Amino acid sequence: MRGAVARCVDWPFEALQRVLGAARMPYVFVAPNLLVFGIFVAAPMILNVWYALTGGTALMPADRPYVGGANFAELLDCADHFAINTCKQDRFWRSVVNTGWFVTFQVIALVLISLITALVLNRRMPWRGFFRAVFFYPVLLSPVVVALIWKWILQPDGLFNALIVANGGIRVPFLLDPSWSFIWTVVVSVWAHMGFYTLILLAGLQAIPKDLYEAAEMDGTPHARVFWRITLPLLMPNMLVVLVLGLIRAVQSFDEIYVLTGGGPGTATQYIVQYIYETAFANQTHILGLAAAASMLVGGVLLVLTLMQLGASAWAKR
């Protein structure tokens, strides 16, 4: 039966290969993905560029007047770039700075924890499936629920404070103090997403041949050497996925943080996507132009960072 199905699928491709030749087959393989991509992802992106270059509040692109770089100029308009309060769009700059700090801490923590967890979950042990599920579970929860759970834990009358008070301490304002709430956005973000990256690294670990480990064990090689010489280099391709995706997603963190702190206290945990979201949707006038321009600036920075990462990995391979 399987053979019959496979034969049905085989012949169109083989026919194509006869026509195009083997060298052109890669294009055939890439085509379906690029088609869906082009229509549903690339076209909206290009429309987004149009939004960034236009003003007004109309939704339909044809109704929007062209303003050139005015949106970008407004975003970057600052009397003194180091004093945020002098900027025209001070909330934009505040969120950029906040995001910078957030990403630095979050990505480092995320990569370290995902790596360690993947290594642990790779071992042969009973109930391995259960333990894998345990670390992956938070990824399945919707951001609203994630934020709700952590609010229960962190609020002034929440679980942590109840434990602290029971042991004679005084309440800690976890979500009301700018520094604490910043730390907790990092923690909650790592908690909610690490399962995703752990799974990627876990898959990558499967690609490392077992006999390499067996040989090392027979030689009595210490763990550190096994890790640095065997595991890490062979894991690098998947590690790159984690680093690139982790960075991109960290910069775009929004959902659970928005529900957890709403950017507060004040603007201590307001990150860039919240700024974009509020500018585009939450104000009565949907200032789509400004939001689109901000998103392009973010995209540009991310592109540069990603290229740097890809370049570094290509250079390291040599």
Partner 1 sequence: MKTMLRRALLAGVAAMLPAFAQAATEVRIMWYSDGNEGEVARDLLNRFEAANPDVKVILDQVPYKMIMETLPQLVSSGQAPDMARVTDLGGQADQYLDIGPLVKDRAYWEKNFATTLPWLRPAGNTTGVFGLMTGITTTMPIVNEALFQQAGIPLPGPKATWQEWATAAKAVAQKTGVPIPIAIDRSGHRVAGPAISMGAKFFDGDKPALVDDGLKTMTKLIYDWHRDGTMSKQIWGSVGGTSYRGANEEFANGQVVLYFSGVWQFPQFAKTIGDGFDWHGVPNPCGPAACSGMPGGAALVGYKSSKHPAEVARVMDYLASEPVHEEYLARTLFLSSHAGIAAKGVAYKADSPQLKKSLAAAQANLLALSPVAFRLQGYLRNRIMFNALIVRLNQAIAGEMTLDEAWTRMTQDVDDGMKAAGVKP
Partner 2 sequence: MIRFLTRRRGGARSDWTDWFCWVYLLLGVLVMFGPVVWLVLSSFKTQSALQEFPPGLWPMGQKQVQVAGVDRPLPVFALPRADGTTQERAMLRRVGLEGQFIDPADPDRKVERARLANVTPVRELHFAFENYIEPLRQFNFSRYLGNSLFVTVIATAITLLINAMCAFALSKYEFRGRNGIFLFIISTLMIPITVVLVPAFLVVTGLGLGNSLWGVILPPAATPTGVFLLRQYMLTIPDELMDAARMDYASEWRLFWRIILPLAAPALAVLAIFSVVWRWNDFLWPLVVLNRQEVFTLQLGLAAFQGELQTQWHYLLAMTVVTLLPVTLVFAFLQKYITTGIASSGMK
Site for partner 2 in 30-89 (CB under 8 A): 30, 32-34, 36-37, 39-45, 47-48, 51, 59-61
| Closer residue to partner 2 in complex, CB, 69/156 | 156
User: Closest separation between CB of residue 174 and partner 2, Å?
Assistant: 14
C-alpha distances in Å from residue 302, one per residue of 84, 123, 174, 194, 296 = 22, 35, 31, 21, 10
Contacts 24+ apart (CB under 8 A), 97-103: 98/182, 98/267, 98/268, 98/269, 98/270, 98/271, 98/272, 99/251, 99/253, 99/271, 99/272, 101/182, 102/182, 102/185, 102/186, 102/189, 102/250, 102/253, 102/269, 102/271, 103/247, 103/250, 103/251
Cα 201 to chain centroid, rounded: 15
Give the whole-angstrom CA distance, residue 145 versus residue 191.
Answer: 13
| Closer residue to partner 2 in complex, CB, 239/268 | 239
| Closer residue to partner 2 in complex, CB, 18/80 | 18
User: Closest separation between CB of residue 263 and partner 2, Å?
Assistant: 14
Among 242, 268, 272, 296, binds partner 1 (CB under 8 A): 268
The answer to whether 56 contacts partner 1 (rule: CB under 8 A) is yes
| Closer residue to partner 1 in complex, CB, 106/267 | 267
**Looking only at residues 137 through 166 of this chain, which bind partner 1 when binding is defined by CB under 8 A?**
156-157
Give the whole-angstrom CA distance, residue 112 versus residue 93.
Answer: 29
**Looking only at residues 177 through 236 of this chain, which bind partner 2 when binding is defined by CB under 8 A?**
191, 195-196, 199-200, 202-204, 206-211, 217, 220, 223, 234
What DSSP letter does each residue of 215-242 carry, written as one string?
HHHHHT--HHHIIIIIIHHHHHHHHHHH
| Closer residue to partner 2 in complex, CB, 79/170 | 170
Q: Which stretch binds partner 2 (CB under 8 A): 81-89, 122-130, 174-182, 261-269?
A: 122-130
Give the whole-angstrom CA distance, residue 184 versus residue 155.
Answer: 12
Give the whole-angstrom CA distance, residue 61 versus residue 75.
Answer: 21
User: Closest separation between CB of residue 215 and partner 1, Å?
Assistant: 56
Q: How many residues bind partner 1 (CB under 8 A)?
A: 34
Give the whole-angstrom CA distance, residue 90 versus residue 296.
Answer: 18
- The residues, ordered by sequence, that sit 6+ positions from 285 with a Cβ below 8 Å of its Cβ are 57
**Looking only at residues 282 through 301 of this chain, which bind partner 1 when binding is defined by CB under 8 A?**
282-287
Binding track over 229-268 against partner 2, x by CB under 8 A? -----x--xx-xx--xx--x---x-x--------------
Per DSSP, what are the bridge partners of residue 152?
none
Give the whole-angstrom CA distance, residue 56 versus residue 25.
Answer: 47
Q: Which does 287 bind (CB under 5 to 8 A by kind): partner 2, partner 1, none?
A: partner 1
Q: Which does 14 bind (CB under 5 to 8 A by kind): partner 2, partner 1, none?
A: partner 2
Give the whole-angstrom CA distance, residue 216 versus residue 204.
Answer: 19
| Closer residue to partner 1 in complex, CB, 228/281 | 281
User: Closest separation between CB of residue 70 and partner 2, Å?
Assistant: 17
| Closer residue to partner 2 in complex, CB, 142/283 | 142
Which residues of the chain form contacts with partner 1 (CB under 8 A)? 55-60, 85, 91, 156-157, 173, 175-176, 178, 258, 261-270, 274, 278, 281-287
